[in-house]
A = this chain, B = another copy of it.
Amino acid sequence: MSSDRFSFNQITAKHWELTDLVKGLVEAEVDKVALWREPVAEYGLERSAALVRDAGLTVTTLCRSGFFQLDGWFDENRRAIDETAALGAPVLVLVSGGLPEGSKDIAGARAHVADAIAQLVPHAAAAGVTLAIEPLHPMYAADRCVINTWDQAMAIAEQHPVGQVGVTVDTYHLWWDDTVLPKIEAAGDRIAIYQLADWITPLPAGVLTGRGLPGDGCVDIRAFHAAVEKAGYTGPIEVEVMNEELWQRPGREILADTIAGYRGI
């Protein structure tokens, strides 16, 4: 993949200050970044938008909203859509949330996600923001995201026009599924964003922050590259890695290793 499609997802260098991150990206001649809501809010939405714009950076996605099991999900997600638009990002990534406290009704939770997204589509469409449903690995089904397979995400996306709701292809979440590659190939314009992380073991407690840079694990990322290419996806390729050990390192080093991992695939 050509390096001009590379986008650095902010969470990969979680502790890097936004101003330093922007400086580091410019120095490394990276022109795309995916931002996260919390650090953007901390620096200020308008200030963040100006900072990245003035640096010539394109914001590929805003991560992340969703969490439809929580009270207030409607207003919170509308705010996230507005933030996405304010940053000039075309895509808001949705992590759909886990089961409500004490619930054993995962089918009900999944139906609620579909309903919630339908309620948000008019606002997103008006803002010019694509909602990118992210199927998360089944190990997050209880506490983080009840949408766990490509089929589940696509079934919801296809209830809406292309461009309004799409799906996030993240190698970390999908690599185990022996049926997924041909489905990605057939997904065409439904692919809203393509993200890379590698699978490494052992998993840490909580299983959130043990992901590997591309090439460091057992995922055949080239096979995913081929599938999204066959789908006709020509958009950015984000590297989004959550790793406690990686996070302890200086941002510049993380960025350099992330670029190297990306190029090495």
Query: Which residues of A are at the interface with B, using a C-beta cutoff of 8 A?
Result: 99, 103-107, 110, 137-139, 141-143, 148-149, 151-152, 175-179, 199, 201-207, 217-220
Contact = CB atoms under 8 A, between A and B. Distances in A.
A222 to B, nearest CB: 9
Question: 7 nearest interchain CB pairs?
Answer: A139-B139, A141-B176, A138-B176, A205-B205, A104-B220, A143-B201, A202-B206
B138 A199 contact: no
A138 to B, nearest CB: 4
B206 A142 contact: no
A177 B106 CA distance: 10
Query: Which residue, A152, A176, A217, has most C-beta atoms of chain B within 10 A?
Result: A176
Nearest to A148: B176
A178 B179 CA distance: 15
Contact of A139 (B149, B203, B217, B220): B203
A254 to B, nearest CB: 23
A148 B106 CA distance: 19
Query: Which residue, A105, A139, A177, A206, has most C-beta atoms of chain B within 10 A?
Result: A139
